[in-house]
Amino acid sequence: MTALRCVHGAAALVAAGCLAAVLWTGLEDRGVALAFGVLTAVGELTRWSGGPVRQAAPLGTAGALSYALLGAVGGRPTDHGAAEVVTVVLAAALLGAVPHLWCGRGPVLDHLARRVLTAGFAALCFQPLYNRGYFTSWSGPAYALLLITLLALTMLCDAVLGAALAHCRTRWPFGPLLREELRGLLGIGAAVCATGAVMALAVAVVGLWALPVFCLPLLLTQLSVRRHAAVRATYRQTIASLARATEIAGYTPAGHARRVAALSLAVGRDLGLTGGELTMLEYAALMHDIGQLSLVDPVPAGATAGLPAAEQRRIALLGGAVVRQTGVAAAVAVVVERQADPCAEQPLAARIVRAVNAYEEKSRDAGPEGPLRALEDLRLGTAGDYAPEVVESLARVLAQSRARAEGGPGADGGRRTALSDPARGWVTHG
């Protein structure tokens, strides 16, 4: 948590210094500050959460960055500096954060720290040099390229900052988190950069009336992204409902698929999976036992890990056939089919599901020592049944989960009853 405190402390120092400077000198362009402050606040109010540590406010980001790189309004040079930019952005972000604080949505302090530091970085790179006349001779494509370059650098810094904050909050590996942030820059991040640059250029020519005109496309894009996220959430809920069919029919214990999916996701993140790989892993883990619906006689307690290899393979193939008929992606069916193959021939997702499923079955209802015995059995089976790197990753995940549970306030709020119960926030995809 030292890095987290450093980021929050740096943001607090920047915000306090800029606020003190503005209180001492006053606002230079109050109308411009009000217009961009309102735009940024509206963007923050429409912010949505993409997971326990992920917040998205593209309109607010574009408004803050365009204000940081604003050099003129309607042909008249501006007089505001970097301190004024940070102060206005901070005030707008605080105003927009009120509903989210009231509803308890996500780590708001992290979002505010990112907003202050990224806006301050962009403003510090541009405003002092512009106010001293260094960019007076820049015009046309050269000036537009300058703004796009500064915006790209700012978004890269924001991606690194976001990955670092997420790593501090979740202890997930930094590398995969950074790759996921950078991948996001190719989508909505590119739209944010383009809108920020266009708004700064348009306001410089036609004035503040350009703001509502040029922010509308990004707002519509944001609504489309949120609708797509809602469709994905509904799709995941449908898969989770299908996975519960084995529980309702009495083939597997209640909550087994959910626990395997949550723990598989944690192991997948520890091994560096991101994006679509994690989504495929979650779907496969949820539906890994669906082949048992084809059995005439249920397996006792749904424990397939102790069955003969031929029987495990038959159930896996039946499960893959069922998955294909549901219309789920073929890659998910492949993982379900191959979870009983020899370990060396399995894809990584199948290795993860196999090891986590075996751990959950061996540790379930086995008493306080069950999780340790189950993990030891998996380590003894790394000679052929389970992948050594997956088992060691599972051990790391369980150790981190135990540390959070014993360390007081944590991600799970002390509600977990055993190591096989996932910490809240593990299932974040879909």
Q: Where are the domains of the chain?
A: 2-229, 244-406
CATH number of 244-406: 1.10.3210.10
pLDDT of residue 418: 36
> For residues 245 and 401, what is the distance between their CA atoms, to the nearest angstrom?
29
The tens-digit pLDDT sequence of the chain (430 residues) is: 688 888 899 999 999 999 999 999 888 888 899 999 999 998 888 776 554 445 577 888 899 999 999 988 988 888 888 999 999 999 998 888 887 777 766 567 888 899 999 999 999 999 998 888 888 778 778 888 999 999 999 999 999 998 898 888 888 888 888 888 888 788 778 888 888 889 999 998 888 888 888 888 888 877 887 788 788 888 888 888 888 888 888 888 888 889 999 999 999 998 988 888 899 999 999 988 888 877 767 777 667 777 787 888 888 888 888 888 877 888 888 888 888 888 888 899 999 999 998 898 888 776 777 788 888 888 888 877 888 999 999 999 988 877 776 654 444 443 333 333 344 333 333 3
Q: pTM here?
A: 0.76
> For residues 202 and 196, what is the distance between their CA atoms, to the nearest angstrom?
10
pLDDT of residue 74: 87
> For residues 390 and 398, what is the distance between their CA atoms, to the nearest angstrom?
12
Which residues does residue 100 pair with via DSSP β-bridges, in sequence order? Answer: none
pLDDT of residue 104: 65
pLDDT of residue 428: 30
Residues whose CB falls within 8 Å of the CB of residue 60, separated by 6 or more in sequence, listed in order: 40, 41, 42, 43, 44, 46, 47, 92, 93, 96, 115
Structure tokens at 240: 């989770």
The helix, strand and coil proportions of the chain, stated in percent and rounded to the nearest 5, come to 75, 0, 25
Structure tokens at 339: 């979870």
> For residues 7 and 347, what is the distance between their CA atoms, to the nearest angstrom?
38
pLDDT of residue 302: 64
pLDDT of residue 49: 59
Q: Which residues of 359-394 are buried (b: 16+ CB within 10 A; e: fewer)?
A: bbbbbbeeeeebbeebbebbeebbeebbbebbbbbb
DSSP 3-state assignment of 55?
A: strand
